[in-house]
Protein backbone atom coordinates (compact mmCIF):
# COMPACT_ATOMS: atom_id res chain seq x y z
CA UNK A 1 0.00 0.00 0.00
CA UNK A 2 1.32 3.41 -0.96
CA UNK A 3 0.43 6.20 1.45
CA UNK A 4 -1.24 9.08 -0.39
CA UNK A 5 0.59 12.39 -0.53
CA UNK A 6 -0.87 15.79 -1.31
CA UNK A 7 1.52 18.70 -1.77
CA UNK A 8 0.65 22.37 -2.18
CA UNK A 9 2.88 24.47 -4.40
CA UNK A 10 2.26 28.11 -3.49
CA UNK A 11 4.60 29.35 -6.24
CA UNK A 12 5.56 33.05 -5.93
CA UNK A 13 2.35 34.09 -4.19
CA UNK A 14 1.32 35.64 -0.93
CA UNK A 15 2.93 37.66 1.81
CA UNK A 16 4.64 36.80 5.09
CA UNK A 17 1.43 37.28 7.07
CA UNK A 18 -0.66 35.54 4.41
CA UNK A 19 1.67 32.52 4.47
CA UNK A 20 1.34 32.23 8.24
CA UNK A 21 -2.44 32.48 8.00
CA UNK A 22 -2.67 29.95 5.16
CA UNK A 23 -0.35 27.42 6.80
CA UNK A 24 -2.04 28.01 10.16
CA UNK A 25 -5.41 27.15 8.71
CA UNK A 26 -4.08 24.00 7.00
CA UNK A 27 -2.21 22.94 10.17
CA UNK A 28 -5.29 23.39 12.35
CA UNK A 29 -7.50 21.41 10.02
CA UNK A 30 -4.98 18.64 9.30
CA UNK A 31 -4.04 18.04 12.93
CA UNK A 32 -7.72 17.81 13.92
CA UNK A 33 -8.13 14.38 12.29
CA UNK A 34 -6.50 10.97 12.39
CA UNK A 35 -4.76 11.18 9.06
CA UNK A 36 -3.79 8.34 6.79
CA UNK A 37 -2.19 10.54 4.17
CA UNK A 38 0.91 12.72 4.07
CA UNK A 39 0.45 16.39 3.31
CA UNK A 40 2.97 19.16 2.73
CA UNK A 41 3.14 22.75 1.55
CA UNK A 42 5.88 24.49 -0.42
CA UNK A 43 5.91 28.22 0.33
CA UNK A 44 8.37 30.71 -1.17
CA UNK A 45 11.79 30.26 0.50
CA UNK A 46 11.66 33.56 2.38
CA UNK A 47 8.60 32.34 4.29
CA UNK A 48 9.99 28.89 5.17
CA UNK A 49 10.93 29.77 8.75
CA UNK A 50 7.56 31.35 9.54
CA UNK A 51 5.64 28.50 7.94
CA UNK A 52 7.83 25.89 9.68
CA UNK A 53 6.95 27.46 13.02
CA UNK A 54 3.24 27.49 12.19
CA UNK A 55 3.24 23.87 11.03
CA UNK A 56 5.13 22.54 14.08
CA UNK A 57 3.51 19.37 15.48
CA UNK A 58 0.63 19.53 12.97
CA UNK A 59 1.74 16.59 10.84
CA UNK A 60 1.87 18.85 7.76
CA UNK A 61 5.27 18.67 6.11
CA UNK A 62 7.31 21.50 4.67
CA UNK A 63 8.80 21.61 1.21
CA UNK A 64 10.68 24.04 -1.02
CA UNK A 65 9.94 24.84 -4.65
CA UNK A 66 13.50 24.64 -5.92
CA UNK A 67 17.04 23.87 -4.78
CA UNK A 68 20.53 24.63 -5.98
CA UNK A 69 22.46 21.86 -7.65
CA UNK A 70 25.55 23.18 -5.83
CA UNK A 71 26.52 22.57 -2.21
CA UNK A 72 27.79 26.06 -1.41
CA UNK A 73 29.81 28.94 -2.76
CA UNK A 74 29.56 31.78 -5.25
CA UNK A 75 26.09 31.03 -6.65
CA UNK A 76 24.25 34.30 -6.08
CA UNK A 77 20.56 33.85 -5.44
CA UNK A 78 20.70 30.07 -4.99
CA UNK A 79 19.62 28.19 -1.88
CA UNK A 80 21.36 24.92 -1.07
CA UNK A 81 19.82 21.61 0.01
CA UNK A 82 21.52 21.81 3.42
CA UNK A 83 19.97 25.26 3.98
CA UNK A 84 16.53 23.90 3.16
CA UNK A 85 17.09 20.95 5.48
CA UNK A 86 18.19 23.31 8.24
CA UNK A 87 14.92 25.20 7.87
CA UNK A 88 12.89 22.04 8.37
CA UNK A 89 12.10 21.04 4.80
CA UNK A 90 11.30 17.40 4.15
CA UNK A 91 10.49 17.74 0.44
CA UNK A 92 11.71 19.80 -2.49
CA UNK A 93 10.25 20.16 -5.97
CA UNK A 94 12.77 19.39 -8.69
CA UNK A 95 12.34 20.12 -12.38
CA UNK A 96 8.97 21.87 -12.11
CA UNK A 97 7.88 22.83 -15.61
CA UNK A 98 8.04 26.52 -14.69
CA UNK A 99 11.72 26.05 -13.83
CA UNK A 100 12.24 24.19 -17.09
CA UNK A 101 10.37 26.74 -19.26
CA UNK A 102 10.84 30.11 -17.56
CA UNK A 103 14.41 29.49 -16.37
CA UNK A 104 15.69 27.13 -19.06
CA UNK A 105 16.45 24.33 -16.63
CA UNK A 106 17.52 21.20 -18.47
CA UNK A 107 16.77 17.63 -17.45
CA UNK A 108 20.44 17.27 -16.54
CA UNK A 109 20.26 20.28 -14.20
CA UNK A 110 17.09 18.92 -12.66
CA UNK A 111 18.91 15.63 -12.17
CA UNK A 112 21.85 17.39 -10.48
CA UNK A 113 19.37 19.14 -8.16
CA UNK A 114 17.75 15.78 -7.41
CA UNK A 115 21.14 14.37 -6.40
CA UNK A 116 21.99 17.44 -4.28
CA UNK A 117 18.63 17.28 -2.49
CA UNK A 118 18.72 13.58 -1.75
CA UNK A 119 22.32 13.90 -0.59
CA UNK A 120 21.12 16.14 2.23
CA UNK A 121 18.23 13.92 3.22
CA UNK A 122 15.46 15.80 1.42
CA UNK A 123 12.82 13.90 -0.55
CA UNK A 124 12.84 15.23 -4.11
CA UNK A 125 9.51 15.47 -5.90
CA UNK A 126 10.63 15.12 -9.51
CA UNK A 127 8.20 16.87 -11.86
CA UNK A 128 7.88 15.50 -15.38
CA UNK A 129 5.47 16.20 -18.19
CA UNK A 130 5.01 17.15 -21.81
CA UNK A 131 3.88 20.37 -23.47
CA UNK A 132 0.73 20.53 -25.58
CA UNK A 133 2.78 20.54 -28.79
CA UNK A 134 4.67 17.46 -27.62
CA UNK A 135 1.42 15.65 -26.76
CA UNK A 136 -0.12 16.58 -30.08
CA UNK A 137 2.97 15.27 -31.83
CA UNK A 138 2.51 11.95 -30.02
CA UNK A 139 5.69 12.49 -27.99
CA UNK A 140 4.31 12.55 -24.42
CA UNK A 141 5.90 9.24 -23.38
CA UNK A 142 9.19 10.08 -25.06
CA UNK A 143 9.45 13.41 -23.20
CA UNK A 144 8.60 11.88 -19.83
CA UNK A 145 11.09 9.08 -20.47
CA UNK A 146 13.88 11.56 -21.23
CA UNK A 147 13.16 13.49 -18.01
CA UNK A 148 13.17 10.29 -15.94
CA UNK A 149 16.22 8.83 -17.63
CA UNK A 150 18.31 11.92 -16.84
CA UNK A 151 17.72 11.29 -13.13
CA UNK A 152 18.33 7.55 -13.41
CA UNK A 153 21.62 8.33 -15.11
CA UNK A 154 22.73 10.84 -12.48
CA UNK A 155 21.31 9.27 -9.33
CA UNK A 156 20.58 5.64 -10.15
CA UNK A 157 17.28 3.80 -10.34
CA UNK A 158 17.16 2.95 -6.63
CA UNK A 159 17.53 6.61 -5.73
CA UNK A 160 14.72 7.65 -8.04
CA UNK A 161 12.24 5.09 -6.73
CA UNK A 162 12.90 6.28 -3.16
CA UNK A 163 11.72 9.75 -4.19
CA UNK A 164 8.36 10.97 -5.48
CA UNK A 165 7.50 11.60 -9.12
CA UNK A 166 4.82 14.09 -10.11
CA UNK A 167 3.37 13.80 -13.60
CA UNK A 168 2.38 17.31 -14.55
CA UNK A 169 1.40 17.83 -18.18
CA UNK A 170 2.54 21.38 -18.93
CA UNK A 171 -0.70 22.12 -20.79
CA UNK A 172 -2.67 21.43 -17.61
CA UNK A 173 -0.67 23.58 -15.21
CA UNK A 174 -2.52 26.72 -14.19
CA UNK A 175 -4.80 26.47 -17.23
CA UNK A 176 -7.92 24.92 -15.71
CA UNK A 177 -7.58 22.16 -18.30
CA UNK A 178 -7.02 18.99 -16.32
CA UNK A 179 -5.80 15.75 -17.88
CA UNK A 180 -8.56 13.17 -17.98
CA UNK A 181 -8.18 10.39 -15.42
CA UNK A 182 -7.51 8.00 -18.33
CA UNK A 183 -4.79 10.24 -19.80
CA UNK A 184 -3.16 10.63 -16.39
CA UNK A 185 -3.34 6.90 -15.61
CA UNK A 186 -1.83 6.07 -19.00
CA UNK A 187 1.29 8.08 -18.22
CA UNK A 188 1.48 6.72 -14.65
CA UNK A 189 1.39 3.18 -16.06
CA UNK A 190 4.15 4.15 -18.46
CA UNK A 191 6.29 5.61 -15.66
CA UNK A 192 5.97 2.52 -13.44
CA UNK A 193 6.68 0.22 -16.37
CA UNK A 194 9.74 2.21 -17.41
CA UNK A 195 11.19 2.16 -13.90
CA UNK A 196 10.40 -1.51 -13.44
CA UNK A 197 9.57 -3.62 -10.44
CA UNK A 198 11.41 -1.36 -8.01
CA UNK A 199 8.92 1.42 -8.73
CA UNK A 200 5.99 -0.53 -7.30
CA UNK A 201 6.24 1.26 -3.97
CA UNK A 202 7.12 4.69 -5.35
CA UNK A 203 4.52 7.41 -4.95
CA UNK A 204 3.25 8.98 -8.16
CA UNK A 205 1.40 12.28 -7.98
CA UNK A 206 -0.70 13.97 -10.62
CA UNK A 207 -0.44 17.76 -11.00
CA UNK A 208 -2.16 20.21 -13.32
CA UNK A 209 -5.34 22.12 -12.44
CA UNK A 210 -6.31 19.72 -9.65
CA UNK A 211 -9.45 21.02 -7.98
CA UNK A 212 -12.25 19.91 -5.68
CA UNK A 213 -14.24 19.16 -8.83
CA UNK A 214 -11.79 16.69 -10.39
CA UNK A 215 -9.56 15.33 -7.59
CA UNK A 216 -11.75 12.39 -6.55
CA UNK A 217 -11.86 10.93 -10.08
CA UNK A 218 -8.11 11.28 -10.45
CA UNK A 219 -7.48 9.57 -7.10
CA UNK A 220 -9.62 6.62 -8.20
CA UNK A 221 -6.94 5.73 -10.73
CA UNK A 222 -4.83 2.75 -9.72
CA UNK A 223 -1.46 4.45 -10.05
CA UNK A 224 -2.26 7.95 -8.81
CA UNK A 225 -1.13 8.25 -5.21
CA UNK A 226 -1.92 11.89 -4.62
CA UNK A 227 -1.53 15.32 -6.12
CA UNK A 228 0.73 18.29 -6.55
CA UNK A 229 -1.67 21.22 -6.25
CA UNK A 230 -0.92 24.78 -7.36
CA UNK A 231 -3.79 27.28 -7.49
CA UNK A 232 -6.18 25.35 -5.25
CA UNK A 233 -3.54 25.06 -2.52
CA UNK A 234 -3.82 28.81 -1.91
CA UNK A 235 -7.37 28.26 -0.62
CA UNK A 236 -7.21 26.27 2.62
CA UNK A 237 -10.73 24.88 2.41
CA UNK A 238 -10.15 23.65 -1.18
CA UNK A 239 -6.76 22.21 -0.32
CA UNK A 240 -8.16 20.38 2.71
CA UNK A 241 -11.05 19.00 0.66
CA UNK A 242 -8.53 17.63 -1.85
CA UNK A 243 -6.61 16.05 1.04
CA UNK A 244 -9.81 14.43 2.31
CA UNK A 245 -10.51 13.08 -1.19
CA UNK A 246 -7.03 11.52 -1.27
CA UNK A 247 -7.77 9.90 2.05
CA UNK A 248 -11.14 8.48 1.03
C1 LIG B 1 1.78 23.26 -10.04
O2 LIG B 1 2.15 24.37 -9.74
O3 LIG B 1 2.56 22.31 -9.95
C4 LIG B 1 0.40 23.07 -10.50
C5 LIG B 1 0.02 21.87 -10.82
O6 LIG B 1 -0.39 24.18 -10.58
P7 LIG B 1 -2.00 24.19 -10.82
O8 LIG B 1 -2.59 23.23 -9.83
O9 LIG B 1 -2.38 25.61 -10.52
O10 LIG B 1 -2.24 23.80 -12.21
What pLDDT band is residue 216 in, cutting at 50, 70 and 90?
A: very high
Active-site hit among 96, 105, 130, 134: 96
Does any ligand 1 atom lie closer than 6 A to the CB of residue 95?
Answer: no
Which of 15-24, 29-38, 202-211, 214-223 bottoms out in mean pLDDT, i.e. has the lowest? 29-38
How many structural domains comprise the chain? 1
CB of 186 within 8 A of CB of 219?
A: no
**What's the predicted TM-score (pTM) here?**
0.97
CB of 92 within 8 A of CB of 64?
A: yes
Does any ligand 1 atom lie closer than 6 A to the CB of residue 6?
Answer: no
Cα 73 to ligand 1 centroid, rounded to whole Å: 32
Does any ligand 1 atom lie closer than 6 A to the CB of residue 169?
Answer: no
Task: Check residue 199 and give its pLDDT.
Answer: 93
Task: Check residue 232 and give its pLDDT.
Answer: 98
The closest of 210, 166, 209 to 188, measured between CA atoms, is 166
Over residues 71-130, the pLDDT tens digits come to 999 999 999 999 999 999 999 999 999 999 999 999 999 999 999 999 999 999 999 999
Active site residue 177: no
The DSSP code sequence of the chain is -PPPEEEEE--S---HHHHHHHHHHHHHHHHTS---SEEEEE--GGGHHHHHHHHTTSSEEEEES---SSSSSS-TT---HHHHHHTT--EEEES-HHHHHHS---HHHHHHHHHHHHHTT-EEEEEE---HHHHHTT-HHHHHHHHHHHHHHHH-HHHHHHSEEEE--GGGTTTS-PPPHHHHHHHHHHHHHHH-GGGGG-EEEEESS--TTTHHHHHTSTT--EEEESGGGGSHHHHHHHHHHHH-
The CATH number assigned to the domain holding 136 equals 3.20.20.70
CB of 107 within 8 A of CB of 150?
A: yes
Mean pLDDT (the chain) is: 97
Partners of 205 in beta bridges:
166
Q: Whose CA is nearest to atom 6 of ligand 1?
A: 230
Cα 21 to ligand 1 centroid, rounded to whole Å: 21
Residue 178 has pLDDT above 90, yes or no: yes
Range of the domain at 135: 5-247
Cα 139 to ligand 1 centroid, rounded to whole Å: 22
Residue 34 has pLDDT above 90, yes or no: no
Amino acid sequence: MRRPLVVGNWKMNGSRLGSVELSGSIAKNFSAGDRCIDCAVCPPDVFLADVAATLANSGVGLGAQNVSQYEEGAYTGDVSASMLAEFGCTYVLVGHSERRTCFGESSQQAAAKFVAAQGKGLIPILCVGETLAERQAGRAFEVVAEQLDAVVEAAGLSALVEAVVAYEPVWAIGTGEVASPVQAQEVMTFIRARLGEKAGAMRLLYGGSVSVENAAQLFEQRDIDGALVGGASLHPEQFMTICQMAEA
